[in-house]
Structure 1
Amino acid sequence: MLGAAVELLQHRPDDFTMADLVRRSGVSRAAVYRRWPSRKDVVVAALDTNRSPLALTLRGSLLETLRDEYQNAFQDLGADTLNLLQQRLIQGLRDPDVQRSYWERHVSRRRSAVLDALQAGQARGEVRGDVDLEVAIDLINGAAYYQGVVRGDWNSAEACARIGAAIDMVWESIRARP
């Protein structure tokens, strides 16, 4: 069912209906509605199908780990992944309910690995205790997304360098000083 929803979202993002989903998936209408009570719920689930949970494994310092993870996060993005990423942006901008639901169900839990790493950095004395870690994540994520969304450059060496430079700038403002 979810695969059919993804196909519809990629090919007919603005006008697919629950009836279209029933036809495409080959399951009953009742089965679709048991899983997703509304079209919005289907869209939110479909938007996240190709995303795997982020797991940060500390390799050296926290700064090195953040640079590694973010600079490699957009490598090897395929056409389907980029299409769904575009749809995440489009659908969220068109419908604030989709945007909120996507945040609550998917984005907020993905940020938890970065938040955990930053909190561990605070506990180890790498990050100042007074830093608003949510803001730090917003700054880093914003720089990373800007490369693809605004510049249209998800994974070039230049985009990776800019992401690394942004992380370095954020790091300078949050790192603990001796």
Structure 2
Amino acid sequence: MAEQNSEGGSHSKGGRPRDPALDEAIIKATRRRLVLDGYSTMTLGDIAADAGVTRPTLYRRWPGKFELVVEALDYGFRAQRDTYPSLNLDELPAIEALTEAVRRLDPAYFNPDAMVLMGNFMGETIRTPELLAIVCQHAVEPRVNLLERVLVNLQDRGEVRPEIDTRTIATMCFGSYFAAFLRTDADRAGLAEKVVAVLWPGIAVDPQEGIPA
């Protein structure tokens, strides 16, 4: 990672000020190569050429391909979080809160190529398992855990049945995006709304009777 200078900028290992625009160009070139070639096949030479820089420029910033890819992944994680609307899901009506949480499960919420990236990282499990572990830790578990927290909150509010398995429901909802991607004839637009419409009658408590609907 780059060192911060006294003005809040960053320096490369050689002490030269780093150009944020150049860093971003390299990061975006890396992310594109991950989609096109996958981690094992992509090369620093290709990334440098795509970004319009030299290989020494990359090595002044990152020790190697793995470290560059980790920063490229972090770039995507932060960009996706910044894309989420500013909402307090605990205060939304039940179906709205649940729908927004399911919507945020979508790997392609920010990046349309995210499903291909996920597939590439799953394919790297044997060769470079730490990459998929990073994706699971920073991109999968936070989203699935959010949906579980929303469900638990709705249980506490008396709107969702207390006996439902929140972990299994969250896993099923996350899997729906992969199923929609693989079923190329499936309409992926509005998937969160469709999933919640099917799921809600089976988990909701009837507010009139105080029993499962």
- When normalised by structure 2's length, the TM-score is 0.59
Q: Which has the larger radius of gyration?
A: 2
Does residue 102 (structure 1) correspond to residue 135 (structure 2)? The answer is yes
Quote the Cα distance in structure 1 between the aligned partners of 2:104 and 2:114. 19
Does residue 88 (structure 1) correspond to residue 118 (structure 2)? The answer is yes
Change (3 A) 1:8 1:16: same
Q: Which residue of 2 aligns with 1:7?
A: 32
Does residue 141 (structure 1) correspond to residue 174 (structure 2)? The answer is yes
* Alignment deviations for residues 68-119 of structure 1 (CA, whole Å, 9 cap, x no partner): 6646987x979xx333322222x13312223333111221112233222212
Aligned to 1:139, the other structure's residue is in SS state: helix
Is the contact made by 2:101 and 2:150 (CA closer than 8 Å) also made in structure 1?
Answer: no
Task: Give the one of 177, 202, 206 matched to 1:173.
Answer: 202
Where structure 1 has 5 or more consecutive residues not aligned to the other structure, the ranges are: none
Is the contact made by 1:47 and 1:87 (CA closer than 8 Å) also made in structure 2?
Answer: no
Change (3 A) 1:125 1:19: same
Quote the Cα distance in structure 2 between the aligned partners of 1:175 and 1:128. 6
Where structure 2 has 5 or more consecutive residues not aligned to the other structure, the ranges are: 1-25
Q: Which residue of 2 aligns with 1:113?
A: 146
Quote the Cα distance in structure 2 between the aligned partners of 1:41 and 1:152. 34
Is the contact made by 2:62 and 2:68 (CA closer than 8 Å) also made in structure 1?
Answer: no
Q: Number of paired residues?
A: 169
Worse overlay, 102-111 or 143-152 = 143-152
Identical residues among aligned pairs (%) = 12
- When normalised by structure 1's length, the TM-score is 0.67
Aligned to 2:198, the other structure's residue is in SS state: helix
Quote the Cα distance in structure 2 between the aligned partners of 1:71 and 1:28. 36
Is the contact made by 2:161 and 2:205 (CA closer than 8 Å) also made in structure 1?
Answer: yes
* Alignment deviations for residues 125-175 of structure 1 (CA, whole Å, 9 cap, x no partner): 11223322111111222224322332354544xxx3x65443233323332
Does residue 66 (structure 1) correspond to residue 98 (structure 2)? The answer is yes
Quote the Cα distance in structure 2 between the aligned partners of 1:45 and 1:77. 15
Which of 1 and 2 has higher RCO (CA within 8 Å, sep 6+)? Answer: 1
Aligned to 1:31, the other structure's residue is in SS state: coil
Worse overlay, 130-139 or 7-16 = 7-16
